[in-house]
Amino acid sequence: MAISCKESSSTGQKEKVISNAGLPNDVIPIFKHWNLILGDGTNAGVATEYEHEDFFYTQKDTSGDWVVFKTPNAGNTHGTSNNTRTELAQLKKWTPSEDAKMNATLKVMNVAQTGDARVAATYSVVVGQIHSADGHENEPFKVFYKKFPGHTKGSVFWNYEINTEGDDNSGRWDYSQAIWGYDFSVVGPTKDTYPPEPKDGIELGEEFSYEVMIKDGIMELKFSSEGHPTKTFSKNLITSEYSEASSMPEQVQQLFVPIGQDGVERKDAYAKEGLFFKLGSYNQTNGKDPQVNRVWCSGAETQGGDIKKQYANGNYAEVWFKSASIEISDNAISNAGYFSANDDLSKKIVYPTEVIPSIAKFKMLMGDGTSVDDLVDFEHKDFFYTVIDGTRRWVVYKTPNSGVTSKNSSNTRTELHEKREWIPEDGGRLTGTCKVMHVSVSGDARVAASYSTVVGQIHSGEGHENEPFKVFYKKFPGHEKGSVFWNYEINTAGDDNSGRWDYSSAVWGHDMSVVGSSKEDYPEEPKDGIKLGEEFSYEVNVHKGIMYLTFTSEGHPTRTFTKNLISSDYVDKADVPEQVKNLFFPIGQDGTERKTAYSGELNYFKQGAYNQTNGKDPSKNMVWCAGAETFGGDIQKQYDNGCYTEVWFRETSVGPSVPK
């Protein structure tokens, strides 16, 4: 007999009972055609004579016997997905030119109770799909159920995901069509504010059916539910409607383009790829931070990944199927390659050098003071590792407010250090595309360095070892937007370097000199700033002694700057900018620069997360000593309490200069 679950009227908790509905294969006798992926990431294989009390079992109610697919908001996932699933995946694949058909009748019993209403995927579950086994492994069909908390009725809609042109799939997007209720793009205006309840929606526990038929490259869809109009759709899978940027639907422009997913589709769409059906409970609500991706990262409660606690607190998706069937061509072939490529992929370490090969040209210092000379096949779970944001992999650099750092710095860093050294006359070039995910939430607003991190720099390896270039990101607590600015530090004349200072130039938002009037009184939020999680790129190109800087970010004006590194602008006190006199002179940093600036000195590039917020007493230096919380140097406590910086890079290049 099968293990099932029922609700305890006194506690609301689930308790084990014996179901008289039998095993899942007794209810829907098709499981020999599928592998079953569970909510803990396990490929359970062919699900005949199989059940699992947490994810896959049978249930009986007054309308008959059902197969239950249940999955939490967080667990181990399958492949590269951010989302858990208890889902069947077909063992054979077929091309869109062959005949294929899937039918199912189901009811959704629960969707997650927590999440961010502004995120399109929140409170939803995919109950059936077509998946590609080849190429980008995209999905030409997904049918969703979504219900906001407090609503009686939810929406059923289906999405088509483009098969992106080229090798880079990060620009992929979905186009969504409403069946009953809303489409995917209808979201809340704030985290906990929901749109009006759909009048023509589907309630939890209300049956509906879908039919997917493929013939001669055309996908025909039919959706039916008693008391609701039957809806039909047709979609060509072998000739794209979206092969030009001008053909992108307005819905996509509003939902996906702002997060950088703005690709076009290959002209023959999915024509050359093997496809297969999937069916079950593919939970779209996850615990990922919405600032990572405002379409797919839900910010929901996950109880630390504890499945039982998630179930007890409503943070799961549960779908019951009454019937299901598939029909495929005799020409269908084995889909084993998909499973071998994706099974346990979420547990596999993907090293930073696999994502950004140029990292191999650097060594690194991490936030605990550890130096690493060979970064090939290296990662560290606390400081330096890779993640997927829903569209692509990134390399993460993370470091606390207090740890162990280099001999001449007060600040921790998880930062690359270029192995090659060069003089400005010979030059070099560094590029980076990044997004800052977090800066310290504690500090002193009067201190210029508080709440900031350096994400790239040029460092001198000789003389005073000063820094002719540093690019910062800084965001005050409570602000949505932060500032990007770059600093030039003078190469101080003479042997005494204590008078050195930085001159700061705003890129987007404020420069470094904009500070608060008291410890917790912040200046006005920059109108043209950059949000946490918003991508920007920089290029530093030093050619024949001249430094050329370019900063770009979608939706923001491109900014360029030029600075001579071999002939100083600051030889005399009269040359010192007013900004410097106001910021640095009061703390005794009032030097001048040698006439030849950094000429002839060996330099190298650095890149990563160089945390500028530290626990030093501001009374000692009102520019660099941030007075932030450090929890006695306990790194985990700092991470738990937001006292750290985290920067993600997806692209980096380093090498010789480029002529200008």
3-state SS, 556-579, equals EEEEEEEEECCCCCCCCHHHCCHH
The rounded distance, in Å, linking the Cα atoms of 47 and 60 is 19
pLDDT for residue 440 is more than 80: yes
Phi first, then psi, for residue 31 (nearest 5°) are: -70, -10
> What is the chain's mean pLDDT, rounded?
93
**Which helix H or strand E contains 581, and what residues bound it?**
helix 578-583
Strand segments, DSSP code E, in 599-638 are: 603-611
Quick: pLDDT tens for 128-164. 999 999 999 999 999 999 999 999 999 999 999 999 9
Of the options 3.40.50.720, 2.60.40.10, 1.10.760.10, 2.60.120.200, the CATH number for the domain spanning 357-655: 2.60.120.200
The rounded distance, in Å, linking the Cα atoms of 579 and 339 is 60
Q: Which amino acid is at 130?
A: I
Can you give the pTM of this predicted structure?
0.75
Q: Are 278 and 129 in contact (CB under 8 A)?
A: yes
Q: Which of 644, 624, 645 is nearest to 634 (CA)?
A: 644
Of the options 2.60.120.200, 1.10.1420.10, 3.30.43.10, 3.40.50.1820, the CATH number for the domain spanning 2-347: 2.60.120.200
Residue position matching structure tokens 């054979």:
92
Q: Per-residue confidence at 6, pLDDT binned at 50, 70, 90?
A: very low
CA dihedral of residues 596, 449, 639, 40 (deg, nearest 10):
-70
Q: Per-residue confidence at 3, pLDDT binned at 50, 70, 90?
A: very low
Mean pLDDT computed over 486-496: 97
pLDDT at 188: 96
pLDDT for residue 11 is more than 80: no
Do 2-347 and 357-655 show the same overall fold? yes
pLDDT at 406: 67
Strands 644-655 vs 393-400: parallel, antiparallel or unpaired? antiparallel
Strand segments, DSSP code E, in 10-123 are: 14-19, 34-37, 43-46, 56-61, 64-72, 85-90, 92-93, 100-110
Quick: pLDDT tens for 195-238. 999 999 999 999 999 999 999 999 999 999 999 999 999 999 99
360 token code pair: 């191999």
Q: Per-residue confidence at 14, pLDDT binned at 50, 70, 90?
A: very low
Domain-wise residue ranges, the chain: 2-347, 357-655
pLDDT at 591: 97
Q: Are 147 and 186 in contact (CB under 8 A)?
A: no
The rounded distance, in Å, linking the Cα atoms of 158 and 145 is 9
Strand segments, DSSP code E, in 496-616 are: 502-508, 530-531, 536-543, 546-553, 556-564, 603-611
Q: Mean pLDDT check: name the lowest of 153-157, 344-348, 351-355.
A: 344-348
Q: Per-residue confidence at 408, pLDDT binned at 50, 70, 90?
A: low
Q: Which amino acid is at 407?
A: K
pLDDT at 286: 94
Using alpha carbons, list the distances in angstroms from residue 391 to 257, 265, 426.
13, 15, 38
